[in-house]
Structure 1
Amino acid sequence: MFRCVRLWTGSNHQSCFEEGWIDLPKGERHDLLSDVIETTSISFRETSEGGSFSWHDAPNRQFVLTLSGTLTFETRTGDSFTLYPGDILLAEDTTGGGHRWHLIDNQPWRRVYAIVPQDIDLPFISASSKC
């Protein structure tokens, strides 16, 4: 199971988040497998250790797959969560107050961005919400 945290803009125009996972309903050879997800682009990025990014919205609806680095995200309401290597962020807070993040370990944040269309359903399953 892949841990996934979803960020979105709530009715108060501030970023909210919920923790959950990516649905893996299929399988073969004892593997679990999601449905195919349409993407419009994929890119790779690395931020040096100690990096941070102040308040911003997600530029697109996107999955952000963390390969290395541990970082804390914060919303303007003061709520926060931590991402670890192997976690997935589903960033959908493209408007509103936004979020910020900073690295909390001595590793660079290596990540993959996969931009997804607005009109498709994604295999995110919510476990808990903070809004």
Structure 2
Amino acid sequence: MVQIVTVYPGSNGESLLFDVSTDQFAEIIKHIGDGPTRLNQNHSPSVDDYHNASRIQYVVHLEGTSEIEVADGTIKRLNPGDILIAQDITGHGHITRGIGQGIRVSMNVPLEEGPWLPKG
């Protein structure tokens, strides 16, 4: 089963993680934003310490496994087919870890900001 999660800045500036339903995601992807769709390749193992999303986007994990962690200790493991909606362009940010060995591949698609984006 595909896992869809979002990371977004909470009212205290700390990023939060929670699950998104497929129905919610179907509404979200109607709002593709300006900018290029990117294919990214990264090596695992790796750690990208606290950072913000570069833009509001959804990230489809195509190959490899990664973990997203926020300050409250919540961790989500993302496998091929899983989707992350990255909204935390401000605040403390999140940690990304590449798990295992080899290449991780993802596709990043920009989203418009708006009320259709889930916020806890």
Q: TM-score per shorter chain, which class?
A: 0.7 to 0.9
Number of the residue aligned with 1:76:
71
- Cα offset for 1:50? 1.0
| 2:5 matches 1:5 | yes
Code of the residue aligned with 2:11 in structure 1: it is: S
Name the one with the larger helix percent: 2
| 2:39 matches 1:44 | yes
- SS of the residue corresponding to residue 45 of structure 2 reads coil
Percent of paired sites with the same residue: 26
Alignment counterpart, residue 53 of structure 1, candidates 48, 61, 81: 48
Cα separation, 1, equivalents of 2:85 and 2:13 = 18
Cα separation, 1, equivalents of 2:91 and 2:33 = 24
| Maintained 8 Å contact 2:31/2:112 | no
Number of the residue aligned with 1:114:
109
- Cα offset for 1:15? 0.4
| 2:99 matches 1:93 | no
**4+ runs deviating over 4 angstroms:** none
Code of the residue aligned with 1:5 in structure 2: it is: V
Q: Structure 2 unaligned segments of length 5 or more: list them.
A: none
Q: How many correspondences in the alignment? A: 116
Q: Structure 1 unaligned segments of length 5 or more: list them.
A: 25-33
Number of the residue aligned with 1:30:
none
Q: 1:74 to 1:13 in 2, by over 3 A?
A: same
Cα separation, 1, equivalents of 2:115 and 2:11 = 21
Number of the residue aligned with 2:16:
16
- SS of the residue corresponding to residue 80 of structure 2 reads coil
Render the CA deviation track for 1:42-99: whole Å, top value 9, x for unaligned: 1110001212211101111100000011111111222211111100000001111100
Cα separation, 2, equivalents of 1:50 and 1:112 = 19
- Cα offset for 1:120? 6.2
Higher-Rg member (1/2): 1
Q: 1:37 to 1:22 in 2, by over 3 A?
A: farther
Q: What TM-score comes out, normalization by structure 1 length? A: 0.77
